[in-house]
Structure 1
Amino acid sequence: MEKLTYQEWILIFTLISLTALGPLAIDMYLPAFPKIAKDLNTEINQVQISLSTFLGGLAIGQLFWGPISDKYGSKKPIVICLSIFILSSLAVMFVQDIKMMWMFRFLQAFGSSGGVVIARAIVNKRFDKDQTLKIFSILAVIGGIAPIIAPILGNVILKYFDWPQVFTAMALFATLSICMTVFFLKEDYNNRLTSLNVSGILSNYINLFKNKIFITYTVIGSIAFSCLMLYISNSPVLVMEAGGLSSTHFSFVFMINSCGLMLGSFLTSSILRKRLAPKNIIKLGTVTQIIAAALLWLFIELDLNIYIQLVPLFFFVMPLGLLFPTTTTLALSPFKAESGIASALFGASQLAFTFMTSILLNSLNDGSMNVVAISLLSCALISFIIISSTKE
């Protein structure tokens, strides 16, 4: 593979600004939950619902912006979707009740989803498969950094200002992304869809479901994403409630595991893609996860020290850095002309699968971490079975 040019690196940094916006918007305001609840005269669990409305907007928005980008290109849709994000971010600053916050958080996500889905489409459309895997790995590294940086930035802002200014910072970041898009993103007018009627869009989405390659790697990618969400939502219980560690220790553990995910992505972009076929990278990742999840389950059953349990947890999270960029590359690669629609359905499927997985786990979970470990093990086994039965 030829080295990336200076112009390509500028493009990558522009795409990074687009893909980082969603994670920043999710995590930056988390430290402000108690203050938001107090100012809006509500409970913290009501503020937490704004996370759910954001994820809903992220899923629906991707399905909307994908066809738009295939029809009208990248530049104008990005400017429009980020403008929606900016306006809704500024509107959150003036909300008087929690329901208004839910609505504007939905609109925030609807806007930010355009940047995410179009960024994936741009990578798939403009680069060959080997370059695509490298760039998606770079974007996955950023996906690991953002959840670490976002709460820290939120805390810094809260130290000097009030919580509405956290949303001002989100709007400023989106403004920077628009500027980078306008100045550095070159439009590509080839391979446009000719119609945006509902039946035509639905037909295009249905055609994606008929493609075995797309379905195979979308399912594996969705399972990996659901594993990440299971880890994020249950790690506080494992580390603090069951493990007895402090919130400071938990932050440190979370940072280490995020670094593990970034390490996996770095290894994929720098070493693994040169020595292994993409399918074998996925096999390596799923086998590592199976071993790690089985050990985690065993250690929980034996009630071993929490620090011992954290070792297999790290080696379960790290392979996600292998799976995310590789499944994205393989799922989207057959659809250069329909990159927007393919990217949209890929992203929305991840969120839908995660939603169903969380409902299933909540119905089975009795509060024990054993159930979480078994769920992670089951997900890794399913992914391994799927990739092992897939023909080249």
Structure 2
Amino acid sequence: MPMPNVKHRWLLLVLLGTLSAFGPLSMDLYLPGLPELQQQLHTTPALAQLTITASLIGLAVGQLLMGPLSDYLGRKKPLYAGLVIFMVTSFLAAITDNIWWLIILRVLQGVGGSAGQVLSRSIARDLFNGHQLTRFLAILMAINGIFPIISPVIGSGILVFTSWRGIFILLAVIGLILIGLTMTTLPETLPVDRRTNHISRAFIEMGQLVGNRAFMTYVLAQGFVYGALFSYISGSTFVYQDYYGLSAGVFSLFYAFNGLGIVTVTKLTGNLTGRFSEQKLLKISVLLGTVAAIVLLINAMTINAFAIMVAGLLVVVSLVGMVNTTATSLGMQLSGEHAGGASALLGLGMNAIGGLMSPLVGAFGTNSVTPMASLILASEVLAVIVLFTFKGEQS
């Protein structure tokens, strides 16, 4: 299907990139305020980090609903519903005084935000296939990658004038803006004649993808790499600020630099597509990430040099851009007409495994780099095992 003749094509690309960035928007924006949130709500680091996990759980579960629904109803109706849920729960999160209510609201906020994540990938698959899909996803994910760069900086700026509550107000405003842009910019990319004819059939078709070994290879490999990413996301604010004594503003600069690495590698992936197969690029990126994780852990357990830690994290985080682009493209190309269900399962792998890894950093301790580095390495090793052993017919 050719790209729709939309007057503002780049506005459409920016919109889809933003919709795909609900993970960074929901987490990175308020990461600098996590220590303050912990203090104001009189809770523990583990429970404060559980608000990250809660959002990831919502993102994962929500995608399992939104994906099949979009194969049945089209892309826009589920997207509208998700954006409204995201906007309302963001506002309620800003006014709660209880950590458990905040955790519940974060789950619901994740469910709402999941619509943007799953449908941005589904819409891309509606429009493109093969190397064209990989290049288009590279553009979307490069736009997506901007948010980890700017979100902590914006969050730190907001904290100068208000508390972490103001960050959730901003998220509610972003949700409202995206509703307006979706109404005016986004076309319906799944015609009625291409939709699944019954909602139960849409869920059955998604379930059938679970039995596709090649598809699940990409889901799990990408998911474990996201486990490494979210181990970093969950632990970095405490490592940089509490262990190394950096201010929230300086931490945000380091965090933004890693986000720039994701954008750069994502752009590189788009340029390399066609010269190298997506499978080869995926394997190379996972292996390099594992090597960097080994260096990161050895450093944490020996000399604990700040520069080596920063360099190791840069490599691990940047390579997520290549893994994300190639694994998503390969998985979506195996989806046939069931792009919504395929996108949901890919999102489930990323958010569920990331959600499981995030609280472990706090549970194992935040007074050294070793817990974060250990979990990053464990995740990368699992990705290698899956990618090189658990594989079926390739696309």
TM-score (norm 2): 0.85
- Identity fraction in percent: 28
2:198 to 195, 200, 208: 195
Please show how residues 16-165 of structure 1 align to structure 2 within 5 Å: 16-33=17-34, 42-43=42-43, 45=45, 46-95=47-96, 97-161=98-162, 163-165=164-166
Unpaired segments of 5 or more residues in structure 1?
none
| CA-to-aligned-CA distance 1:311-346 (integer Å, 9 cap, x gap) | 233222222111011101111112142111111111
Q: Is the 8 A contact 2:228 2:377 kept in 1?
A: no
The residue type equivalent to 1:55 in the other structure is: L
Q: Which is further off, 68-77 or 52-61?
A: 52-61
* Change beyond 3 A, Cα 1:315–1:56: closer
**2:230 & 2:370 partners in 1: Cα distance?**
17
The residue type equivalent to 2:157 in the other structure is: V
Q: Is the 8 A contact 1:54 1:106 kept in 2?
A: yes
- SS at 1:303's partner residue? coil
Residue 33 of structure 1: CA displacement?
Answer: 4.8
**2:130 & 2:273 partners in 1: Cα distance?**
10
Which residue in 1 is equivalent to 2:172? Answer: 171
Which residue in 1 is equivalent to 2:347? Answer: 347
Which residue in 2 is equivalent to 1:325? Answer: 325
Q: Is the 8 A contact 1:296 1:312 kept in 2?
A: yes
Which residue in 2 is equivalent to 1:205? Answer: 206
Q: Which is further off, 336-345 or 366-375?
A: 366-375
Q: Is the 8 A contact 1:21 1:174 kept in 2?
A: no
Residue 225 of structure 1: CA displacement?
Answer: 0.7
* Change beyond 3 A, Cα 1:213–1:252: same
The residue type equivalent to 2:321 in the other structure is: G
Which residue in 2 is equivalent to 1:276? Answer: 276
The residue type equivalent to 1:27 in the other structure is: D
Q: Which is further off, 26-35 or 321-330?
A: 26-35
* Change beyond 3 A, Cα 1:292–1:33: closer
**2:298 & 2:98 partners in 1: Cα distance?**
46
Which residue in 1 is equivalent to 2:290? Answer: 290
The residue type equivalent to 1:230 in the other structure is: S
The residue type equivalent to 2:185 in the other structure is: F
Residue 3 of structure 1: CA displacement?
Answer: 10
Q: Is the 8 A contact 1:300 1:370 kept in 2?
A: yes
Which residue in 1 is equivalent to 2:264? Answer: 263
Q: Is the 8 A contact 1:33 1:44 kept in 2?
A: no
Residue 49 of structure 1: CA displacement?
Answer: 3.8
| CA-to-aligned-CA distance 1:47-100 (integer Å, 9 cap, x gap) | 544333222221211111111111111112211211122222233344354443
Q: Is the 8 A contact 1:56 1:106 kept in 2?
A: yes
* Change beyond 3 A, Cα 1:181–1:168: same
The residue type equivalent to 1:155 in the other structure is: S
The number of equivalent residue pairs is 386
Residue 355 of structure 1: CA displacement?
Answer: 3.8
* Change beyond 3 A, Cα 1:357–1:155: closer
* Change beyond 3 A, Cα 1:230–1:206: same
TM-score (norm 1): 0.85
**2:100 & 2:66 partners in 1: Cα distance?**
25
**1:279 & 1:186 partners in 2: Cα distance?**
31
**1:191 & 1:175 partners in 2: Cα distance?**
30
The residue type equivalent to 1:60 in the other structure is: V
Q: Which is further off, 17-26 or 381-390?
A: 381-390
Q: Which is further off, 161-170 or 342-351?
A: 161-170
* Change beyond 3 A, Cα 1:154–1:235: closer
Residue 268 of structure 1: CA displacement?
Answer: 0.7
Q: Is the 8 A contact 1:79 1:178 kept in 2?
A: yes
Q: Which is further off, 380-389 or 168-177?
A: 380-389
* Change beyond 3 A, Cα 1:343–1:263: same
Residue 182 of structure 1: CA displacement?
Answer: 1.3
Unpaired segments of 5 or more residues in structure 2?
none
**2:162 & 2:387 partners in 1: Cα distance?**
50
The residue type equivalent to 2:158 in the other structure is: I
* Change beyond 3 A, Cα 1:104–1:251: closer
Residue 228 of structure 1: CA displacement?
Answer: 0.5
